[in-house]
Amino acid sequence: MDSSEKGNLHQVKHVVLVLSGKGGVGKSTITTELALALIHAGKKVGILDVDLCGPSIPRMLRVGKPEVHQCDAGWVPVYADPQQQLAIMSIGFLLEDSDEAVIWRGPKKTALIGQFVSDVAWGELDVLLVDTPPGTSDEHLAVLENLRKHRVDGAVLVTTPQAVSTGDVRREITFCKKTAVKILGIVENMSGFVCPHCSECSNIFSKGGGEELAKLTGSVFLGSVPLDPLLAASLEEGQDFLQAFPDSSTYTAISQIANTLLSSLDA
């Protein structure tokens, strides 16, 4: 099969979905920090932001609302860095007004996702991270149907420690099993609060729910990321947290998760 038959994903080595059955658990945060950690590990990374109703990636990476250009192969992704190591495509780039609500029925959503997956000229990438909306909706099925023409390595599931979150993520695990998506691991986000003054970690939302869920479902536990004000501020300002705070415990946690994921992909 030549490259024209394989399409725009033929030079993408690995495709990873970032999923959760619960909204507000920090999928976009984990997607962003995983991408930055992989870049610091020397990888070339892409982010496909298919959270159509809440595209957060452009703000978190401070790329604004650039004009999306086209080439012979399709849409040209927007690069977040001068070295062009981090490529992004988001619905946020296509909205005329950032405050505009995306009120679309299923067929229009699935058609756009089909375009996103097939018509973006990604070029060579080590890893493509797909930031998805919460739940198990049309968007998820559209992503899977279009990516199956290529290959999906698996999914990283994001949860917070509380039972109300892990219960919803358990349903996401069922979705993965029904759709034959490999679970690469579970990340527990907001796992304790890191004090900005003394760096002590307090378990505001309890602790260990993600690890317990991994044990119950036979999944890999990738690690925990604390609720860190420095991380939150970095995301709000579009700064590279990993570059700014290499001595923090949050940096260590994110780097270890990224390294474990890389080892799994390369195995």
Largest CA distance in the chain: 58
Buried b (16+ CB within 10 A) or exposed e, 183-201: bbbbbbbbbbbbeeeeeeb
- Binding-site sequence positions: 21-28, 195, 198
32-55 burial string, b = 16+ CB within 10 Å, else e?
A: bbbbbbbbbeebbbbbbbbbbebb
Helix (H) or strand (E) holding 128: strand 125-131
Distance between CA atoms of 72 and 206, rounded to whole angstroms?
51
Helix, strand, coil % in the chain, rounded to nearest 5 = 40, 20, 40
Distance CA 212, CA 48 (A): 30
Q: Are strands 183-194 and 74-75 parallel, antiparallel or unpaired?
A: unpaired
- Binding residues for ATP, by number, are 21-28
Closest CA to 148 of 120, 124, 180: 180
Q: List the binding residues for [4Fe-4S] cluster.
A: 195, 198
